[in-house]
Amino acid sequence: MDEVRRLVAFLVIALLGAAAFGLSSASSGLSVNGTTVSGNAFRSELAAINASPGMQCYLHALNPVSFGSGGGGDTMSAAGAASWANFRVEGVALTKFVTAHLKFDPTKQALAAAKASLESEMTDAAAAEVSADNTKPCTGTAAQAVAAMPLEMQQAQIVAQAASLYLVSKLSRTVPLTTKSMEAYFASHSADYDTLCVSIAVVSPSRVTGFQAAQASGASVASLAKHFSIDPSAKTGGAAGCYAPSSQDYADVRADVSTTALNTFPTKPLQIDDNGATDALFVAVTKRTVNTYEQAAAAVLSDLQSSNASLARTEEATILYESAISVDPAFGQWILNSAGPTTAANAVPPKTDVKGAKFLTTTATNYQ
Protein backbone atom coordinates (compact mmCIF):
# COMPACT_ATOMS: atom_id res chain seq x y z
CA MET A 1 0.00 0.00 0.00
CA ASP A 2 2.85 2.33 0.84
CA GLU A 3 4.35 1.60 -2.56
CA VAL A 4 1.03 2.52 -4.23
CA ARG A 5 0.88 5.80 -2.25
CA ARG A 6 4.47 6.54 -3.23
CA LEU A 7 3.64 5.82 -6.89
CA VAL A 8 0.57 8.08 -6.75
CA ALA A 9 2.63 10.82 -5.10
CA PHE A 10 5.30 10.43 -7.76
CA LEU A 11 2.70 10.75 -10.52
CA VAL A 12 1.18 13.85 -8.89
CA ILE A 13 4.62 15.46 -8.64
CA ALA A 14 5.34 14.53 -12.25
CA LEU A 15 2.05 16.03 -13.39
CA LEU A 16 2.67 19.19 -11.40
CA GLY A 17 6.11 19.42 -12.98
CA ALA A 18 4.65 18.96 -16.44
CA ALA A 19 2.06 21.64 -15.74
CA ALA A 20 4.75 23.99 -14.50
CA PHE A 21 6.80 23.33 -17.63
CA GLY A 22 3.76 23.98 -19.77
CA LEU A 23 3.17 27.32 -18.08
CA SER A 24 6.83 28.19 -18.39
CA SER A 25 6.87 27.19 -22.04
CA ALA A 26 3.74 29.21 -22.77
CA SER A 27 5.15 32.27 -21.06
CA SER A 28 8.54 32.03 -22.75
CA GLY A 29 8.75 34.49 -25.62
CA LEU A 30 11.21 37.33 -26.12
CA SER A 31 13.38 39.06 -23.55
CA VAL A 32 15.40 42.25 -24.05
CA ASN A 33 17.37 43.64 -21.13
CA GLY A 34 14.80 42.38 -18.64
CA THR A 35 11.71 43.44 -20.61
CA THR A 36 9.72 40.48 -21.87
CA VAL A 37 7.07 39.75 -24.45
CA SER A 38 5.34 36.60 -23.23
CA GLY A 39 4.97 33.59 -25.47
CA ASN A 40 1.20 33.89 -25.28
CA ALA A 41 1.28 37.55 -26.28
CA PHE A 42 3.69 36.83 -29.14
CA ARG A 43 1.53 33.93 -30.38
CA SER A 44 -1.54 36.17 -30.32
CA GLU A 45 0.36 38.65 -32.48
CA LEU A 46 1.29 35.93 -34.95
CA ALA A 47 -2.35 34.84 -35.02
CA ALA A 48 -3.48 38.42 -35.67
CA ILE A 49 -1.03 38.74 -38.57
CA ASN A 50 -2.17 35.40 -39.94
CA ALA A 51 -5.81 36.48 -39.78
CA SER A 52 -5.24 39.77 -41.61
CA PRO A 53 -4.16 39.62 -45.29
CA GLY A 54 -3.68 43.39 -45.25
CA MET A 55 -1.33 43.26 -42.27
CA GLN A 56 0.61 40.41 -43.88
CA CYS A 57 0.97 42.43 -47.08
CA TYR A 58 2.28 45.58 -45.37
CA LEU A 59 4.69 43.62 -43.17
CA HIS A 60 5.93 41.75 -46.24
CA ALA A 61 6.59 45.12 -47.88
CA LEU A 62 8.75 46.12 -44.90
CA ASN A 63 10.58 42.78 -44.89
CA PRO A 64 9.96 40.51 -47.90
CA VAL A 65 9.49 37.14 -46.23
CA SER A 66 6.36 35.03 -46.04
CA PHE A 67 4.02 35.90 -43.19
CA GLY A 68 1.55 33.22 -44.32
CA SER A 69 0.68 30.01 -42.54
CA GLY A 70 3.46 27.53 -41.90
CA GLY A 71 3.49 23.80 -42.43
CA GLY A 72 2.11 21.18 -40.09
CA GLY A 73 -0.54 23.46 -38.63
CA ASP A 74 1.89 26.21 -37.60
CA THR A 75 0.30 29.63 -37.28
CA MET A 76 3.02 31.20 -39.41
CA SER A 77 6.01 30.23 -41.53
CA ALA A 78 9.36 30.00 -39.75
CA ALA A 79 10.68 32.98 -41.73
CA GLY A 80 7.64 35.08 -40.86
CA ALA A 81 7.80 34.25 -37.15
CA ALA A 82 11.53 35.06 -37.03
CA SER A 83 10.98 38.32 -38.90
CA TRP A 84 8.25 39.42 -36.51
CA ALA A 85 10.41 38.41 -33.54
CA ASN A 86 13.13 40.62 -34.99
CA PHE A 87 10.71 43.56 -35.33
CA ARG A 88 9.70 43.15 -31.69
CA VAL A 89 13.25 42.68 -30.36
CA GLU A 90 14.53 45.74 -32.21
CA GLY A 91 11.59 47.83 -31.03
CA VAL A 92 12.01 46.89 -27.38
CA ALA A 93 15.80 47.38 -27.51
CA LEU A 94 15.51 50.84 -29.07
CA THR A 95 12.81 51.91 -26.63
CA LYS A 96 14.83 50.71 -23.64
CA PHE A 97 17.98 52.44 -24.88
CA VAL A 98 16.51 55.88 -25.60
CA THR A 99 14.52 55.78 -22.37
CA ALA A 100 17.60 54.96 -20.29
CA HIS A 101 20.19 57.09 -22.09
CA LEU A 102 18.35 59.88 -23.91
CA LYS A 103 15.47 60.58 -21.50
CA PHE A 104 12.83 59.43 -23.99
CA ASP A 105 9.33 60.16 -22.67
CA PRO A 106 6.97 60.51 -25.63
CA THR A 107 4.05 62.94 -25.46
CA LYS A 108 0.64 62.23 -27.00
CA GLN A 109 1.66 64.42 -29.92
CA ALA A 110 4.89 62.45 -30.41
CA LEU A 111 2.98 59.17 -30.38
CA ALA A 112 0.43 60.51 -32.86
CA ALA A 113 3.28 61.60 -35.14
CA ALA A 114 4.94 58.19 -34.75
CA LYS A 115 1.70 56.42 -35.70
CA ALA A 116 1.40 58.58 -38.82
CA SER A 117 5.08 57.92 -39.61
CA LEU A 118 4.63 54.16 -39.21
CA GLU A 119 1.60 54.13 -41.48
CA SER A 120 3.40 56.28 -44.04
CA GLU A 121 6.42 53.96 -43.98
CA MET A 122 4.18 50.94 -44.53
CA THR A 123 2.29 52.70 -47.34
CA ASP A 124 5.49 53.75 -49.12
CA ALA A 125 7.03 50.28 -48.80
CA ALA A 126 3.90 48.63 -50.22
CA ALA A 127 3.73 51.13 -53.10
CA ALA A 128 7.40 50.54 -53.91
CA GLU A 129 6.83 46.78 -53.95
CA VAL A 130 3.88 47.14 -56.34
CA SER A 131 5.95 49.37 -58.62
CA ALA A 132 9.01 47.10 -58.59
CA ASP A 133 7.33 43.70 -58.84
CA ASN A 134 3.99 44.56 -60.41
CA THR A 135 2.29 42.87 -57.46
CA LYS A 136 -1.25 43.67 -56.41
CA PRO A 137 -1.78 46.53 -53.92
CA CYS A 138 -2.31 45.53 -50.30
CA THR A 139 -5.87 44.97 -49.13
CA GLY A 140 -7.03 48.01 -47.19
CA THR A 141 -4.88 50.89 -45.94
CA ALA A 142 -1.85 50.86 -43.68
CA ALA A 143 -3.97 52.61 -41.04
CA GLN A 144 -6.42 49.72 -41.15
CA ALA A 145 -3.56 47.22 -40.83
CA VAL A 146 -2.29 49.02 -37.72
CA ALA A 147 -5.83 49.20 -36.31
CA ALA A 148 -6.18 45.43 -36.77
CA MET A 149 -3.26 44.77 -34.41
CA PRO A 150 -4.02 43.65 -30.85
CA LEU A 151 -3.76 46.65 -28.52
CA GLU A 152 -0.43 45.63 -26.91
CA MET A 153 1.07 44.91 -30.33
CA GLN A 154 -0.17 48.21 -31.77
CA GLN A 155 1.05 50.28 -28.83
CA ALA A 156 4.46 48.57 -28.91
CA GLN A 157 4.91 49.36 -32.62
CA ILE A 158 3.92 53.00 -32.20
CA VAL A 159 6.21 53.49 -29.19
CA ALA A 160 9.06 51.75 -31.03
CA GLN A 161 8.52 54.04 -34.04
CA ALA A 162 8.55 57.06 -31.73
CA ALA A 163 11.77 55.79 -30.12
CA SER A 164 13.36 55.30 -33.54
CA LEU A 165 12.43 58.82 -34.66
CA TYR A 166 13.72 60.21 -31.38
CA LEU A 167 17.02 58.35 -31.75
CA VAL A 168 17.48 59.64 -35.31
CA SER A 169 16.89 63.20 -34.11
CA LYS A 170 19.69 62.81 -31.55
CA LEU A 171 22.34 61.42 -33.92
CA SER A 172 24.86 64.11 -34.77
CA ARG A 173 25.25 63.24 -38.46
CA THR A 174 21.57 62.99 -39.38
CA VAL A 175 19.82 65.82 -41.22
CA PRO A 176 16.45 66.94 -39.84
CA LEU A 177 13.70 66.43 -42.41
CA THR A 178 12.56 70.04 -42.30
CA THR A 179 12.30 72.33 -45.30
CA LYS A 180 15.04 74.60 -43.97
CA SER A 181 17.49 71.73 -43.37
CA MET A 182 16.73 70.03 -46.67
CA GLU A 183 17.19 73.28 -48.60
CA ALA A 184 20.56 73.77 -46.92
CA TYR A 185 21.55 70.21 -47.81
CA PHE A 186 20.48 70.73 -51.43
CA ALA A 187 22.49 73.94 -51.67
CA SER A 188 25.70 72.04 -50.93
CA HIS A 189 24.78 68.98 -53.05
CA SER A 190 22.90 70.55 -55.96
CA ALA A 191 25.03 68.77 -58.59
CA ASP A 192 23.63 65.46 -57.29
CA TYR A 193 20.17 66.49 -58.50
CA ASP A 194 20.76 67.54 -62.12
CA THR A 195 18.49 66.14 -64.80
CA LEU A 196 20.61 63.50 -66.54
CA CYS A 197 20.39 62.71 -70.26
CA VAL A 198 22.16 59.43 -70.94
CA SER A 199 23.34 57.21 -73.75
CA ILE A 200 24.00 53.51 -73.41
CA ALA A 201 25.84 50.75 -75.20
CA VAL A 202 24.98 47.11 -74.59
CA VAL A 203 27.98 45.11 -75.81
CA SER A 204 28.27 41.35 -76.18
CA PRO A 205 31.24 39.80 -74.34
CA SER A 206 33.08 38.95 -77.55
CA ARG A 207 33.15 42.63 -78.60
CA VAL A 208 34.08 44.31 -75.31
CA THR A 209 37.80 44.31 -76.12
CA GLY A 210 37.14 45.97 -79.48
CA PHE A 211 34.82 48.51 -77.80
CA GLN A 212 37.47 49.42 -75.24
CA ALA A 213 40.16 49.74 -77.93
CA ALA A 214 37.97 52.12 -79.93
CA GLN A 215 37.17 54.01 -76.74
CA ALA A 216 40.89 54.38 -75.93
CA SER A 217 41.53 55.74 -79.43
CA GLY A 218 39.05 58.56 -78.81
CA ALA A 219 35.80 57.34 -80.42
CA SER A 220 32.75 59.35 -79.32
CA VAL A 221 29.87 58.02 -77.24
CA ALA A 222 27.53 58.09 -80.26
CA SER A 223 30.08 56.34 -82.50
CA LEU A 224 30.77 53.61 -79.94
CA ALA A 225 27.07 52.95 -79.44
CA LYS A 226 26.36 52.84 -83.18
CA HIS A 227 29.19 50.41 -83.96
CA PHE A 228 29.17 48.10 -80.93
CA SER A 229 25.80 48.23 -79.12
CA ILE A 230 23.24 45.49 -79.68
CA ASP A 231 20.51 47.61 -78.06
CA PRO A 232 17.88 49.20 -80.38
CA SER A 233 19.09 52.61 -79.16
CA ALA A 234 22.27 52.09 -81.22
CA LYS A 235 20.42 53.62 -84.20
CA THR A 236 20.27 56.96 -82.37
CA GLY A 237 23.79 56.84 -80.97
CA GLY A 238 22.68 55.12 -77.79
CA ALA A 239 20.36 57.91 -76.62
CA ALA A 240 18.28 56.45 -73.79
CA GLY A 241 16.37 59.49 -72.58
CA CYS A 242 16.59 62.07 -69.84
CA TYR A 243 15.94 61.45 -66.16
CA ALA A 244 14.80 64.20 -63.80
CA PRO A 245 14.99 63.86 -60.00
CA SER A 246 11.26 63.11 -60.04
CA SER A 247 11.84 60.05 -62.24
CA GLN A 248 11.29 56.67 -60.64
CA ASP A 249 14.64 55.44 -62.02
CA TYR A 250 16.62 58.57 -61.13
CA ALA A 251 18.56 57.11 -58.18
CA ASP A 252 19.63 54.08 -60.23
CA VAL A 253 20.67 56.17 -63.23
CA ARG A 254 22.59 58.57 -61.02
CA ALA A 255 24.44 55.66 -59.42
CA ASP A 256 25.28 54.20 -62.85
CA VAL A 257 27.02 57.41 -63.99
CA SER A 258 28.42 58.65 -60.69
CA THR A 259 32.09 58.11 -61.61
CA THR A 260 32.25 59.23 -65.25
CA ALA A 261 32.77 62.59 -66.93
CA LEU A 262 30.31 64.17 -69.35
CA ASN A 263 30.12 62.47 -72.78
CA THR A 264 32.36 59.61 -71.66
CA PHE A 265 31.61 55.93 -71.28
CA PRO A 266 33.26 54.31 -68.24
CA THR A 267 36.20 52.00 -68.85
CA LYS A 268 34.67 49.34 -66.63
CA PRO A 269 31.14 48.29 -67.63
CA LEU A 270 28.16 47.18 -65.62
CA GLN A 271 26.63 43.81 -66.40
CA ILE A 272 23.15 43.23 -67.73
CA ASP A 273 21.16 40.02 -68.14
CA ASP A 274 19.92 39.79 -71.73
CA ASN A 275 17.61 36.77 -72.08
CA GLY A 276 19.93 34.54 -70.10
CA ALA A 277 23.16 35.95 -71.54
CA THR A 278 25.35 38.40 -69.66
CA ASP A 279 26.29 41.47 -71.69
CA ALA A 280 28.35 44.55 -70.82
CA LEU A 281 26.43 47.78 -70.17
CA PHE A 282 28.15 51.14 -70.65
CA VAL A 283 26.28 54.28 -69.55
CA ALA A 284 27.34 57.87 -70.25
CA VAL A 285 25.84 61.24 -69.31
CA THR A 286 25.52 63.38 -72.41
CA LYS A 287 23.81 66.38 -70.83
CA ARG A 288 23.20 67.81 -67.35
CA THR A 289 20.49 70.33 -66.53
CA VAL A 290 20.55 72.15 -63.20
CA ASN A 291 17.36 71.97 -61.13
CA THR A 292 15.88 74.07 -58.35
CA TYR A 293 15.22 72.72 -54.87
CA GLU A 294 11.50 72.60 -55.63
CA GLN A 295 12.15 70.35 -58.63
CA ALA A 296 14.40 68.05 -56.61
CA ALA A 297 12.65 68.15 -53.22
CA ALA A 298 11.22 64.62 -53.41
CA ALA A 299 14.61 63.14 -54.33
CA VAL A 300 16.35 65.12 -51.58
CA LEU A 301 13.83 63.83 -49.05
CA SER A 302 14.29 60.25 -50.25
CA ASP A 303 18.09 60.53 -50.07
CA LEU A 304 18.04 62.00 -46.57
CA GLN A 305 15.58 59.41 -45.35
CA SER A 306 17.91 56.69 -46.65
CA SER A 307 20.98 58.35 -45.17
CA ASN A 308 19.34 58.90 -41.80
CA ALA A 309 18.04 55.32 -41.80
CA SER A 310 21.52 53.98 -42.57
CA LEU A 311 22.99 55.92 -39.64
CA ALA A 312 20.16 54.71 -37.43
CA ARG A 313 20.73 51.09 -38.48
CA THR A 314 24.41 51.39 -37.54
CA GLU A 315 23.45 52.77 -34.14
CA GLU A 316 20.76 50.13 -33.77
CA ALA A 317 23.26 47.34 -34.47
CA THR A 318 25.47 48.72 -31.69
CA ILE A 319 22.49 48.81 -29.32
CA LEU A 320 21.61 45.21 -30.17
CA TYR A 321 25.25 44.10 -29.73
CA GLU A 322 25.21 45.48 -26.22
CA SER A 323 21.78 44.15 -25.23
CA ALA A 324 20.95 40.96 -23.35
CA ILE A 325 18.50 39.25 -25.69
CA SER A 326 16.84 35.86 -25.71
CA VAL A 327 14.34 34.44 -28.17
CA ASP A 328 12.22 31.36 -27.57
CA PRO A 329 13.57 28.71 -29.99
CA ALA A 330 9.97 28.15 -31.10
CA PHE A 331 10.10 31.56 -32.80
CA GLY A 332 13.67 31.68 -34.13
CA GLN A 333 17.33 31.84 -33.17
CA TRP A 334 19.13 34.97 -31.98
CA ILE A 335 22.39 34.95 -33.95
CA LEU A 336 25.23 37.16 -35.12
CA ASN A 337 25.76 37.21 -38.87
CA SER A 338 27.65 39.48 -41.27
CA ALA A 339 24.89 42.11 -41.07
CA GLY A 340 24.89 42.15 -37.27
CA PRO A 341 22.70 40.63 -34.55
CA THR A 342 19.37 39.30 -35.81
CA THR A 343 16.70 36.65 -35.38
CA ALA A 344 17.14 33.83 -37.87
CA ALA A 345 14.42 31.44 -38.93
CA ASN A 346 14.61 27.87 -37.72
CA ALA A 347 15.60 25.42 -40.42
CA VAL A 348 12.69 23.63 -42.07
CA PRO A 349 12.67 20.86 -44.68
CA PRO A 350 12.65 22.26 -48.24
CA LYS A 351 9.54 21.88 -50.37
CA THR A 352 11.63 20.78 -53.35
CA ASP A 353 15.02 19.18 -53.83
CA VAL A 354 18.10 21.07 -54.91
CA LYS A 355 17.43 20.34 -58.55
CA GLY A 356 14.67 22.94 -58.46
CA ALA A 357 16.88 25.68 -57.02
CA LYS A 358 17.65 28.81 -59.02
CA PHE A 359 20.47 31.30 -58.66
CA LEU A 360 19.53 34.78 -57.51
CA THR A 361 20.60 37.43 -60.00
CA THR A 362 20.90 41.20 -59.79
CA THR A 363 19.46 43.43 -62.47
CA ALA A 364 20.75 46.59 -64.06
CA THR A 365 18.75 49.78 -64.49
CA ASN A 366 15.99 49.36 -67.04
CA TYR A 367 16.88 51.87 -69.77
CA GLN A 368 14.01 52.13 -72.21
In the predicted structure, residue 362 carries a pLDDT above the cut 60: no
- 263 Cβ neighbours under 8 A, 6+ residues apart: 220, 221, 284, 285, 286
In the predicted structure, residue 118 carries a pLDDT above the cut 90: yes
In the predicted structure, residue 32 carries a pLDDT above the cut 90: yes
Q: How confident is the model at residue 71 (pLDDT cuts 50, 70, 90)?
A: low
Per-residue pLDDT of 192-209, as tens digits, reads: 999 999 999 999 999 999
Mean of the per-residue pLDDT values of the chain:
85
Q: For residue 150, what pLDDT is reported?
A: 92
In the predicted structure, residue 4 carries a pLDDT above the cut 70: no
Looking at the chain, how many residues does it have?
368
Distance CA 76, CA 66 (A): 8
CATH 3.10.50.40 location in the chain: 192-291
In the predicted structure, residue 255 carries a pLDDT above the cut 50: yes
Q: For residue 134, what pLDDT is reported?
A: 65
Q: How confident is the model at residue 75 (pLDDT cuts 50, 70, 90)?
A: low
Q: For residue 77, what pLDDT is reported?
A: 83
Per-residue pLDDT of 256-284, as tens digits, reads: 998 889 999 999 999 988 777 899 999 99
Distance CA 163, CA 117 (A): 12
pTM of this structure: 0.67
Q: For residue 367, what pLDDT is reported?
A: 59
More confident of the two residues 314 and 221 = 221
Q: For residue 6, what pLDDT is reported?
A: 40
Instruction: Give percent of the chain with pLDDT exceeding 70.
Output: 84
Cα 255 to Cα 132, 258, 281, 285, 362, distances in angstroms: 18, 5, 13, 11, 15
Per-residue pLDDT of 142-159, as tens digits, reads: 999 999 999 999 999 999
Per-residue pLDDT of 311-343, as tens digits, reads: 888 899 999 999 999 999 989 999 988 878 899
The bridge status of strand 340-344 relative to strand 195-203 is: unpaired
What top-level class would CATH report for the domain 192-291? alpha beta
Q: Could you tell me if 162 and 156 are in contact, meaning their C-beta atoms sit under 8 angstroms apart?
A: no
